[in-house]
């Protein structure tokens, strides 16, 4: 799960990690009030969306006086912000963060995340902060330093020293940095974060180390033990189809650019089905694993969500009836079809438990469903129909 910068900074503040003074604003009036409360200029107006690269896209602006605060807040709120992370369709800005503008001496990069391959927590740091870190890693990998920490031993002073040294920090700056890095490590582990990133981490002209930006991603599978974090969820920032699917515990992921919806039981079979759709010269519009033990109701909801996606021009249902019996699947499909109506061709391939009964239900339903003899036959049929 992703959260907004202002929420990440709230967590930073609670953890004792220094951030600029400021507050979130949901209207131009609130932004004006927040700026006035800061007491002096410049103030920074920052678009709050779940994507980075806002600065380059025009979503981060400095205001030199109250009039500019009003102007910038009005223009950024409601804008469709396009960054390299939003895709060309961009993201509608509904929230702002209004902060004190700080005098920047230097911009650094710092992140901490689990490294699955190494089975360790890794800190990544660079003196080339503020910019696209993927580019730094690709073009000048020597500018990106990594420090690995065994989670069973935990972070020690020498880990922090190694980072500070790698960033060319000394004296009081190194001390401030190390204290911050220790707190970031705790935050990352305590909240089961999949990423904590500060870009830029700044050194101010008056000798302070401050997190100017803040990004935190959480491991969804650990959210059950962080009820406070769940409150940060912002459904405005999530794909509406995925939000709907999550209500029924369906493993559904939308795939922009594709046009063949597919419903499959089992994640492995779903991955294979997507490959076979590609191989047939078409592109999947989603990943959907209804689960091994799906109920007719779940099948119905999954099918309904696929059909509601306007980019879906055809559907492939690929079920191996094991725990999910074929008759139950057939009932779910028929129910959903009767409720929402099917306006696109649907090809079904199913095998396994109660397959005869499942076929009978589909055949007698009066629905225009196309049956396939195996998976590649199914993929070729749906690809051909959609292309035609």
The least CB distance from residue 43 to ligand GDP, in Å, is 8
Q: Give the nearer residue to ligand GDP in terms of CB position, either 107 or 335.
A: 107
Exactly one of 44, 81, 280, 296 binds ligand GDP (CB under 6 A); that residue is: 44
* Alpha carbon 195 to chain centroid, angstroms: 11
Q: Choose the catalytic residue: 5, 197, 237, 300.
A: 197
Which single residue is written with the structure tokens 């910019």?
Answer: 131
CA angle at 340 for the pair 336 and 343, rounded to the nearest 5°: 105
Q: Give the nearer residue to Mn ion in terms of CB position, either 137 or 223.
A: 137
Between CA 85 and CA 82 the distance in angstroms is 8
Site track 133-172 with Mn ion (rule: CB under 5 A), x = hit: ----------------------------------------
Between CA 318 and CA 321 the distance in angstroms is 10
Active site residue 134: no
Beta-carbon count within 10 A of 377 CB: 14
Told to check if 261 binds ligand GDP by CB under 6 A, we report no
Active site residue 109: yes
* DSSP 8-class letter at 208: -
Tell me whether strands 193-204 and 209-211 are parallel, antiparallel or unpaired.
antiparallel
Exactly one of 213, 237, 327, 335 binds ligand GDP (CB under 6 A); that residue is: 213
Told to check if 18 binds ligand GDP by CB under 6 A, we report no
| Six token digits for residue 18 | 């220094």
Positive/negative CA dihedral, 137, 139, 145, 147: positive
| Six token digits for residue 230 | 């769940």
114 binds, among ligand GDP, Mn ion, none (CB under 5 to 8 A by kind): none
Q: Give the nearer residue to Mn ion in terms of CB position, either 51 or 299.
A: 51
Exactly one of 8, 69, 155, 212 binds ligand GDP (CB under 6 A); that residue is: 212
Site track 177-206 with ligand GDP (rule: CB under 6 A), x = hit: ----------------------xx------
Told to check if 155 binds ligand GDP by CB under 6 A, we report no
Q: Choose the catalytic residue: 5, 23, 109, 191.
A: 109
Number of helical H runs and strand E runs in the chain: 14, 18
Q: Which residue is nearest to ligand GDP (CB)?
A: 55
Q: Give the nearer residue to ligand GDP in terms of CB position, either 197 or 289.
A: 197
The least CB distance from residue 68 to ligand GDP, in Å, is 14
Beta-carbon count within 10 A of 387 CB: 12
Positive/negative CA dihedral, 56, 48, 31, 16: negative
Between CA 50 and CA 143 the distance in angstroms is 27
Q: What is the 3-state secondary structure (H, E, C) of 134-197?
A: HHHHHHCHHHEEEEEECCCCCCCHHHHHHHHHHCCCCHHHHHHHHHHHHHHHHHHHHCCEEEEE
Q: Give the nearer residue to Mn ion in terms of CB position, either 213 or 309.
A: 213
Exposed, middle or buried: residue 14 (CB in 10 Å: 0-12, 13-18, 19+)?
Answer: exposed
Site track 197-216 with Mn ion (rule: CB under 5 A), x = hit: --x-------------x---
Told to check if 22 binds ligand GDP by CB under 6 A, we report no
| 93 Rama class: left (phi>0) / alpha (psi -120 to 50) / beta | beta
Told to check if 166 binds ligand GDP by CB under 6 A, we report no
* Alpha carbon 302 to chain centroid, angstroms: 21
Ranges within 92-151 binding ligand GDP (CB under 6 A): 101-102, 104, 107, 130
Site track 55-74 with ligand GDP (rule: CB under 6 A), x = hit: x----x--------------
The least CB distance from residue 31 to ligand GDP, in Å, is 15
130 binds, among ligand GDP, Mn ion, none (CB under 5 to 8 A by kind): ligand GDP
Which residues of this protein are in contact with Mn ion, per CB under 5 A?
199, 213
Residues assigned a catalytic role: 109, 197
Which residues of this protein are in contact with ligand GDP, per CB under 6 A?
44, 52-55, 60, 101-102, 104, 107, 130, 199-200, 212-213
């Amino acid at each position: 799960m992703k959260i907004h910068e202002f929420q990440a900074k709230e967590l930073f503040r609670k953890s004792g990690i220094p951030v600029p003074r400021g507050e979130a604003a949901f209207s131009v009036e609130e932004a004006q009030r927040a700026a006035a409360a800061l007491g002096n200029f410049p103030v920074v107006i920052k678009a709050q969306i779940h994507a980075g690269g806002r600065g380059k896209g025009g979503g981060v602006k400095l205001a030199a006086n109250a009039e500019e605060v009003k102007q910038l807040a009005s223009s950024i709120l409601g804008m469709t912000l396009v960054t390299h992370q939003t895709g060309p369709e961009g993201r509608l800005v509904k929230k702002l963060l209004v902060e004190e503008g700080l005098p920047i001496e230097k911009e650094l990069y710092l992140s901490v995340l689990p490294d699955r391959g190494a089975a360790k927590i890794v800190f990544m740091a660079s003196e080339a902060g503020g910019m696209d870190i993927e580019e730094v890693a690709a073009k000048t990998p020597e500018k990106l330093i990594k420090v690995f920490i065994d989670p069973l031993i935990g972070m020690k002073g020498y880990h922090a020293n190694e980072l500070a040294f790698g960033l060319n920090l000394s004296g009081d700056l190194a001390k401030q940095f190390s204290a911050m890095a220790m707190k970031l490590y705790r935050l990352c582990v305590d909240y089961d974060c999949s990423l904590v990133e500060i870009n830029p981490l700044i050194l101010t002209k008056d000798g302070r180390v401050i997190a100017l930006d803040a990004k935190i991603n959480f491991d969804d599978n650990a959210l059950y033990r962080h009820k406070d974090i769940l409150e940060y969820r912002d459904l405005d920032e999530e794909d509406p189809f995925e939000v709907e699917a999550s209500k029924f515990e369906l493993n559904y992921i939308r795939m922009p650019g594709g046009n063949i919806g597919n419903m499959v039981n089992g994640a492995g079979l779903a991955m294979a089905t997507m490959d076979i759709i590609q191989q047939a010269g078409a592109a999947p519009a989603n990943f959907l694993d209804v689960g091994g033990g799906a109920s007719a109701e779940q099948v119905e909801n999954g099918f309904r969500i696929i059909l509601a996606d306007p980019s879906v021009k055809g559907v492939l249902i690929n079920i191996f009836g094991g725990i999910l019996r074929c008759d139950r699947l057939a009932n779910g499909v028929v129910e959903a079809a009767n409720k929402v109506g099917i306006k696109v061709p649907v090809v079904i391939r199913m095998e396994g438990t109660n397959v005869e009964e499942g076929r009978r239900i589909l055949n007698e339903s009066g629905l225009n469903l196309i049956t396939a003899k195996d998976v590649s036959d199914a993929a070729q049929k749906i690809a051909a129909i959609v292309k035609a």
